[in-house]
Amino acid sequence: MTSTFRAVQQISRPHGMPVPGDFAFVERPMPEVAPGTALVENLYLSVDPYMREAMDAEWKLEHPLEGRSIGRVTASRDPGLAVGDLVFHRAGWRTHALVSRAEGARVLPRHTGVPVGSYLGLLGGTGLSAYVALTRIAGLQPGETVFVSAAAGGVGSAAGRLARLLGAGRVIGSAGSPRKVAHLVGRLGFDAAFDYHDGSVGEQLAKAAPDGIDVYVDNVGGDHLEGAISAMRDHGRIAWCGAVAQYNSAEPPPAPRNLYDIVEKSIRLEGFLVRQYGDAQAELEDFLIPHIQAGRVTQDETVVDGFDGVVDAFLGMLRGRNTGKMLVKLGD
């Protein structure tokens, strides 16, 4: 067994879009496996949009970073974690980590036909965000029309596919390039999609959904939220997951100019944090695993190979270079 592990630390606060110089790769002695802990060799690391906000204040400088991860137990003094177990945990951005069930490490179930990486995507926080948005927050009903912003990203692509499985009548997405628009319609089964660079979001959405929308899964905020409000039918619901439009901006985008339409149309807008809905994880797995096993849905993902690529994967995700969930693969 190697005596050291590698990790990435944040060494400076970003001003606007993060750059490689905000991070440093370090090598540290392998931690001792104390009673109640287990050592895992990480196999998959997740990089996610929420991490950009964590860089501003939540993450301590020159300390190990946080992130969803999957690792294999290589040594254990935790009776609930056996050598060889595949474990989900949050000690990411490193090749090895010391974890414990007491701090949230979870042995992953093994299902035929379900790739391990799915537990960081469709069956992980990404898919759970989309599922909670559609079911717990928006209360999607069969036959309704759903609009998803940043639909080619991790949460967005999961939301579009889950909406279809949950019975949506029409699914519409926005993305940032013609290639991504084609990907949404051609591969992911969206009924319509548009490039938000091509004009007003509200005008393009009106063309894609001339009869209006019932549910909006918002990953962007700003002009997308304004456009969705303008297209929404009476008693529509907005599940606000994120606001990528402002993550790298010193000033937040202006509030929607049509905000009062929420009152006139009796629209419900609700934001949420997925970490408050851990009770929905088993529900998501019970619903989605049979669909994965039957081949009705597969994970849309972009995979970067090797630990040396983790910073580039994170920065690429923030710049929209991925389609679907962005993962870093360290091993099999």
Quickly list DSSP for 181-218.
Answer: HHHHHHTS--SEEEEGGGS-HHHHHHHH-TT-EEEEEE
For residue 281, tell me if it sits in a domain: no
CATH number of the domain that 48 lies in? 3.90.180.10
Q: 129 with 257, same domain?
A: yes
For residue 292, tell me if it sits in a domain: no
Cβ–Cβ under 8 Å, residues 292 and 122: yes
For residue 171, tell me if it sits in a domain: yes
What is residue 307's predicted lDDT score, i.e. its pLDDT?
Answer: 98
- Partners of 177 in the β-ladder: none
Is the full-model pTM beyond 0.85?
Answer: yes
Number of structural domains (the chain) is 2
pLDDT at 82 over 70: yes
Q: 55 with 159, same domain?
A: no
Q: 67 with 156, same domain?
A: no
For residue 75, tell me if it sits in a domain: yes
Q: Which run of H or of E encompasses 284?
A: helix 281-293
Q: 143 with 9, same domain?
A: no
Q: 247 with 304, same domain?
A: no
Reported as a single tens digit per residue, the pLDDT across 106-153 is 999 999 999 999 999 999 999 999 999 999 999 999 999 999 999 999
Distance CA 150, CA 17 (A): 18
Q: 179 with 72, same domain?
A: no
Q: What residues make up the domain containing 48?
A: 4-121+300-329
What is residue 89's predicted lDDT score, i.e. its pLDDT?
Answer: 97
